[in-house]
Amino acid sequence: MQNPSKHRLGVFGGTFNPIHLGHLLIAQDAIDAFELTSILFMPCATPPHKQKSSLIPARHRLAMVEAAIEADINFEPSDLEIQRGGVSYSYVTMSEIRQLHPDTDILFIIGSDSLCELHLWKNIYKLLDICELVIIERPGYERKTIDPASILLDPPWPDKLLANIVSRHPVGISSTDVRYRIAEGMCIRHLVPRAVEVYIAEHRLYRPFRSE
Ligand code: ATP
């Protein structure tokens, strides 16, 4: 049981290209499992480790995050990384948040698919010192299938991180699949919040470019 007077802030960074219902469910699971007070949803400017070809402008990704979480008082959008611009490194972001909230517990939320890539993250050991990582189990990357040796970090981090995996509502939704379905003219209903579905349709996002 955490000290109830202490603020525990979750930070959920992502490309959110677009935000989907998996993101919302895992954020709520993180709140419940780690007794978080609130979560900042932080769309990146340029992601360091992803293909850029399918990336739509940050203003659209942020607008969809805002629309998706508007009704939830525990969720808040943040444009910190978008305002900073350039490649968004979590270490830089979390250092800034740590300075802004010196007396707050800060937890950073990631999916379990990111575990085996953490050694590639900029200043990963400093990031691990600044904040606790909450790892949400993603289908295909279940706790029981992850060999600690596949997490290429110094001890005790592999074991420590594996102990922080949460598995409550594993959900097999990805932004890649949502983009694919739109490009193929398929339905995305119930994969993204209704407001996001409407935004995507209004702005004709993720449609393949067709020359006349
Ligand atoms: P893409 O398919 O474009 O790679 P994505 O669905 O992984 O995108 P991101 O915005 O890149 O979405 O994800 C932000 C964070 O949320 C990452 O740490 C990712 O691992 C995690 N995440 C996304 N979807 C899920 C999911 N369904 N289950 C668990 N974690 C997820």
Q: From ligand 1's centre to the CA of 158, what distance in Å?
A: 21
Residue 212 — pLDDT band, cuts 50, 70, 90?
very low
Question: What's the pTM value of the predicted model, to 2 decimals?
Answer: 0.94
| Domains detected in the chain | 8-173 (3.40.50.620)
14 within ligand 1 shell (Cβ under 6 A):
yes
Q: From ligand 1's centre to the CA of 165, what distance in Å?
A: 15
pLDDT tens readout for residues 122-163: 999 999 999 999 999 999 999 999 999 999 999 999 999 999
Residue 50 — pLDDT band, cuts 50, 70, 90?
confident
Short-list 53, 62, 69, CA closest to 15: 62
CA angle 73, 74, 76 (to 5 degrees): 85
Q: From ligand 1's centre to the CA of 5, what distance in Å?
A: 31
26 within ligand 1 shell (Cβ under 6 A):
yes
Alpha helices by DSSP H, listed for the chain, are: 21-34, 58-69, 80-84, 90-100, 124-130, 157-162, 175-183, 194-202
Q: From ligand 1's centre to the CA of 8, what distance in Å?
A: 22
192 within ligand 1 shell (Cβ under 6 A):
no
Q: Which of 16, 26, 62 to mutate to test the pocket of ligand 1 (most atoms within 8 A of CB)?
A: 26
The rounded Cα 130 to chain-centroid distance in angstroms is 18
167 within ligand 1 shell (Cβ under 6 A):
no
